[in-house]
Amino acid sequence: MTNTRLGWGLLWSQWWGFSVEAMRVMGYSGGNITKVRMERDGDRGHWGKEAVGNGVGGDSVSRMFSLKNCKSLKRLPPTIGKLSSLLELYLDGSSALEEVPDSVGNLTKLEKLSLRGCGLLTSIPDSIGKLQSLIELFLNNTSIKELPASVGSLSHLKVFSVERCRSLCKLPDSIGELASLKLLWLVGTPITELPDQIGALNALEKLELGNCEKLRSLPDSIRNLLNLTTLSLDGTIIIELPQSIGMLERLDILKLNNCKYLRRLPSSIGRMTSLRYCVMKGTVVAELPEEFGMLSSLRILNMAKGKKIPDWFVPEIPSFSTQKNRDLKGVIVAVVVSLDQQQQDDFRDKVPGLVDIQLKIFRPNEPAYNDEPIHSTVLDLRGIPDTDEDHLYLCRFHDYNPFVRILKDGDKIQVAMRSPRPLFNGLELKKYGIYLVYENDDDIEDDDVESQESVTERLSKFFSSL
C-alpha cells in the first residue's frame, strides 16, 4: 500500500495485492482521496470476485478509479454508481469481468471509461447513454455483440474505439448522433457495412477501418464527412470506392494497403486537393485515373512491391538548370528498398514509416564548397515493409516545399542513405531515381502528340506494367 499526502489531505492511494476485505479491516474509508489504483501487480496478489466494496462507495473518490488487470474481478457492485464525482474509470485487462451494472449511468461527471481487454464482457448497459460528460470510451478487445442505441446520446464523446471487438458485426443507426466525435476506431471488427448515418458525424477527423475483413463498401453518405483527415481501409474487401469520396477535400491520409479486391480508383479522387499520403500496396489497381494528376498536395504514393523504377527517372541530377518559360513545379523521387525481417529494432512497430532515406542538395559552385550538402530532407516513406521483398515508394515535393524553392543553377541533387548508419537494422537502398516536374507536365492537352503524355499517364502505365 502506498499513500501520498499532497497539500491538506490524502490525494493518492495505491493498493497492490490487497483484498477489498483487507481494506475494510484496516479502516479504509476514502477520506479526501482523489485517485485510487487497485491493480494486480505481477504475482504480488489478486482481487476477489468483487471490488469497490462499502469502504469505497459514496463520493470519497473524486477523480480516478483504476482496477486494471484484476483477473478475478467478475462484476462491479451497484455501489459504483455512488462515485458521483468520478472523472475516470479504468477496468482494462479485467479479463473475468462479465457485466457492468446499470448504476454506471449515475456517473454523470465521468469523462473517460476504458474496458480494454475485458474479454468476457458481452454487453454494456443502456444506461451508458446517461454519461453526458463522457469524452473517451474504449471497448477494445471485448466480446460485445452489439452497442445499445443509447450510445448515440453521448453528445460530448470525442474518442470511441471498439478495436478488435470480434463479435461486433454492426453499428447502431444512432452512431450518427455523436455530434462531437472526432476519432472512431473500428479496426479488426467483423462489420460488413457502415450505416448511412455515419455521414452525420460532421466533426469526425479520423476513421480507422483497417482489417475489417468483411467490409465490402462505403456508403455514399461518406461525402458528408467534410472534416475527415484520415481514412484507413487497409485489409478490407472493398471492390471500389464511391464517387462521393471526392467530396473529402480535407483528407490528408488514405490507406488502402492489402485491399486485394480493389480494382480502380474513382475519377473524383482528383478533387481531394489536401491528400498528401496515398498508400495502396497489395491492391489490383492497374491504372490510375487521369484526374489523379490533379492531386496538387500529394507527397507520398506507395502502390506496389517492386524491383524497378520508371526508366525516365535518373539516378541523380548532376547539375540542375532552370528552363526558359517553364517553372519547376516539383521533384518526384522513386526508391526501391528492402528491410531484412530477421534484424529487428525496438521501435519498428512504433513508427509510421522508414526515416533513413534522404534527398540532398549540393552546391559545388559555391566558393566555400566542402563536399557537404547545403540542404537535406528525409523521405517520408509511409508503411514499414513486413516482408523481405523489395518495396517501391514514390515521393513528390511540390514547388512550395523548401527543398524545391532553394534550388539554383548548378546544384546537384542526390538520394542517399542516412549516414553514418541507418536507424533501421537491415535496411537496404536498392535503386533510386529523380524526376523534375515542370510547368504543364501534368496538363498536356495536345492529343495528337503521343510523346507528350502527362506525368500521371506515364506513372499509370508504369504501375500497370509491374
Nearest 5°: the CA angle 235, 297, 356 is: 65
Find cell 499513500 and name the residue.
3
Q: Which phi and psi angles does 314 have, rounded to 5°? A: -115, 150
Q: Which three cell numbers stand for residue 459?
A: 506513372
Q: Is the pLDDT of residue 81 over 60?
A: yes
CA distance 456 to 453: 8
Q: pLDDT digit string (tens) for 370-411?
A: 889 999 999 988 888 888 888 888 898 988 889 999 999 999
Band of the pLDDT at 48, cuts 50, 70, 90? Answer: very low
Q: Is residue 80 within 8 Å of residue 101, measured between CB atoms? A: yes
Q: Are strands 300-305 and 412-417 parallel, antiparallel or unpaired?
A: unpaired
The pLDDT of residue 38 is 56
What's the start-to-end Cα distance of the chain, in Å?
A: 63
Average pLDDT over every residue of 64-69: 87
Q: Write down the pTM of the prediction.
A: 0.77
H helices present in 234-342, as ranges? none
CA distance 210 to 233: 5
The pLDDT of residue 217 is 95
The pLDDT of residue 466 is 67
Q: Is the pLDDT of residue 453 over 50?
A: yes
CA distance 298 to 313: 18
Cis previous bond, 420, omega within 30: yes
Nearest in space to 401 (alpha carbons), one of 457, 326, 333: 333
Long-range pairs for 259-265 at CB < 8 Å and ≥24 separation? 259/233, 259/234, 259/235, 259/283, 260/284, 261/237, 262/238, 263/239, 264/240, 264/289, 265/241, 265/289, 265/292
Q: Which phi and psi angles does 454 have, rounded to 5°? A: -70, 165
Band of the pLDDT at 36, cuts 50, 70, 90? Answer: low
Average pLDDT over every residue of 228-234: 97
User: Lowest-confidence range among 246-255, 284-293, 418-427?
Assistant: 284-293
Band of the pLDDT at 153, cuts 50, 70, 90? Answer: very high
Amino acid at 185: W
Q: Is the pLDDT of residue 231 over 50?
A: yes
CA distance 83 to 334: 58
Q: Which phi and psi angles does 276 have, rounded to 5°? A: -110, -30
Q: Which three cell numbers stand for residue 46?
A: 489478486
Taking CA atoms, 317 is separated from 156, 307, 360, in Å, by 54, 22, 11
Mean pLDDT of the chain: 84
Q: Is residue 333 within 8 Å of residue 415, measured between CB atoms? A: yes
Band of the pLDDT at 56, cuts 50, 70, 90? Answer: very low
CA distance 384 to 423: 13
CA distance 171 to 138: 15
CA distance 59 to 80: 10
User: Lowest-confidence range among 326-330, 432-436, 440-444?
Assistant: 440-444
CA distance 53 to 212: 40
Tell which wins on pLDDT, 305 or 35: 305
CA 307 to chain centre: 28
Q: Is the pLDDT of residue 456 over 60?
A: yes
Nearest 5°: the CA angle 82, 152, 147 is: 80
Q: Is residue 345 within 8 Å of residue 460, measured between CB atoms? A: no
Taking CA atoms, 283 is separated from 164, 276, 336, 385, in Å, by 23, 19, 18, 15
Q: Are strands 412-417 and 112-114 parallel, antiparallel or unpaired?
A: unpaired
189 exposed, middle or buried (CB, 10 Å; 0-12, 13-18, 19+)?
A: buried
Quick count: other Cβ atoms within 10 Å of Cβ 205?
A: 17
Find cell 464523446 and name the residue.
157
Tell which wins on pLDDT, 346 or 330: 330
Q: pLDDT digit string (tens) for 337-364?
A: 999 999 888 888 778 889 999 999 999 9
Q: Is 66 helix (H, G, I), strand (E, B) or coil?
A: strand
Q: pLDDT digit string (tens) for 257-281?
A: 999 999 889 999 989 989 989 988 8
Average pLDDT over every residue of 196-206: 97
Average pLDDT over every residue of 211-240: 96
